[in-house]
Amino acid sequence: MFKHLSQIPGNVVAIRISGEIRDRENEQISRILEKEIAKSGRIRLLLVMDHYPSFNTAESLYDDLKFAKFYSDAIERMAVIGDKPWKKTWVALFGLFGGIQAEYFDRSAADAAWKWLSSG
């Protein structure tokens, strides 16, 4: 399940994910990204991961975030906010293999995520 957080200024697309992303939802998120990319050219992506059960392996993360991988050439940066520090490595690997500059932030560091996302 996901929710597009649409009140974000600039070229930032923010999405809250609170469960496994199914193919239909992946397509819906892809349409949101396409719309924002058409409007802004390049975007920055913020993913807020709430109680994400299938985020248990690096492979499941890569599969569930295929929408980001598909648009990697138009994503300048991707910040992921979550609740488990050990997921930082998986997000870094996703960024490496997906071709996206990606960083993981704990919920307590949400301000740092915003700062990193808007810098550079």
Q: Evaluate whether residue 55 is within a structural domain.
A: yes
Q: Evaluate whether residue 83 is within a structural domain.
A: yes
Please give the residue range of the domain that contains residue 96.
8-118
State residue 74's pLDDT score.
94
Structural domain total, the chain: 1
CB atoms within 10 A of CB 74: 18
- CB-based contact 95:79 (threshold 8 Å): no
Q: Evaluate whether residue 68 is within a structural domain.
A: yes
- pLDDT tens digits, residue range 15-48? 998 877 888 988 999 999 999 999 989 999 998 9
Q: Evaluate whether residue 3 is within a structural domain.
A: no
Q: What is the CATH number of the domain that holds 16?
A: 3.30.750.24
Residue 54 pLDDT > 60:
no
**pTM for the structure as a whole:** 0.85
